[in-house]
Amino acid sequence: MAWKSDYLDIILAPLAFGMIIAYNVQLYFRFRRNPESTVMGVNNRARRAWVREIMRDNDKKNILAVQTLRNSIMGSTLMATTAIILSSAVAAFLASSYDIKKPIRGAILGAQGSSALVIKYMCLMAGFLLAFLCYVQAVRYTNHVTFIINIPSDDGMTPDYVADILEKGSNFHTAGTRAFYAMIPVLLWVFGPIPLFASVIILVPVWYVLDRAHNSDGKTTNQKGRLSDSWNGHRRRKSCDHFSSSEPGTDERYPEPV
């Protein structure tokens, strides 16, 4: 009976984690190939448009920009705090006495040894730590944007560069949120591989609905993506030509913030 219980974990756990990894890998390539077909791509395009509008009329919209970025930083900070608290709670539970973990053993199927429980709790703690690190990077990049978005373009700070930094911050925030989502099946894994597999079966379709851009079909999305890419490329070339002609000695490439 113990042999059969162990094989539930050996079969269902890799299948569940494989589904999570496979979905996110295909989402990444779809995002790289056709950003407009994903919510992340549409949101990134909207953020770039927002940065251009803010920097175009900076004197009137500088307060709006700082307040908006501050709200984003507060959201990432709250999620980072939640992640590190949950990670600390899991670590404290893992370091607790054997008697605390003993009552749940009779209520689960699958591997019930001490090493199996340690692996499950370690995966849970690692996921929350990953989410924490992603949110910290989101705060870091967004904080950089609060300093450079109000710098006039004449001083060499182009909207495309500012938008790139903001996009990195938003992508890290998205990665942290996805890590939080992925921890739901890992948490249910404590109660056995069957809840783990069932939750992944539910989570992947939910991800698909949330990640898909609902405002257009595939053909229109591809056309919009090409138009958006050509427009952004035109703006980038125009901006680089402007700064190259006005300041010949200035390097148009900017170092990544530290």
pLDDT reading at 21 higher than 90: yes
104 domain-assigned: yes
- Please spell the DSSP secondary structure of the chain, one letter per residue: -HHHHHHHHHHHHHHHHHHHHHHHHHHHHHHHH-GGGBHHHHHHHHHHHHHHHHHHTHHHHHHHHHHHHHHHHHHHHHHHHHHHHHHHHHHHHHTS-HHHHGGGGGG--S--SHHHHHHHHHHHHHHHHHHHHHHHHHHHHHHHHHHHTTS-GGGT--HHHHHHHHHHHHHHHHHHHHHHHHHHHHHHHTT-HHHHHHHHHHHHHHHHHHHB-TTS-HHHHHHHHHHHHHHHHHHHHHHHHHHHHH-TTS-S--PPP-
pLDDT reading at 171 higher than 60: yes
| Model confidence pLDDT, tens digit, residues 57-77 | 777 777 888 888 888 889 888
Maximum average pLDDT range among 102-116, 207-221, 224-238: 207-221
**How many structural domains are present in the chain?**
1
Name the least confident of 75-84, 164-173, 195-204: 75-84
108 domain-assigned: yes
pLDDT reading at 157 higher than 90: no
The pLDDT, as a whole number, for residue 204 is 94
257 domain-assigned: no
253 domain-assigned: no
The pLDDT, as a whole number, for residue 200 is 95
| Model confidence pLDDT, tens digit, residues 174-215 | 999 999 999 999 988 888 888 999 999 999 999 999 998 875
235 domain-assigned: no
The pLDDT, as a whole number, for residue 105 is 54
Of residues 234 and 167, more confidently modeled? 167
Domain coverage including residue 128: 2-219
At residue 56 the predicted structure's pLDDT band, cuts being 50, 70 and 90, is confident
The pLDDT, as a whole number, for residue 221 is 46
Q: With pLDDT > 70 as the criterion, what percentage of the chain qualifies?
A: 71
At residue 248 the predicted structure's pLDDT band, cuts being 50, 70 and 90, is very low
pLDDT reading at 113 higher than 90: no
pLDDT reading at 145 higher than 50: yes
The pLDDT, as a whole number, for residue 24 is 94
Name the least confident of 1-10, 33-42, 65-74, 236-245: 236-245
- Computed over every residue of the chain, the mean pLDDT equals 78
Of residues 242 and 32, more confidently modeled? 32
Average pLDDT over residues 28-37: 90
87 domain-assigned: yes
198 domain-assigned: yes
228 domain-assigned: no
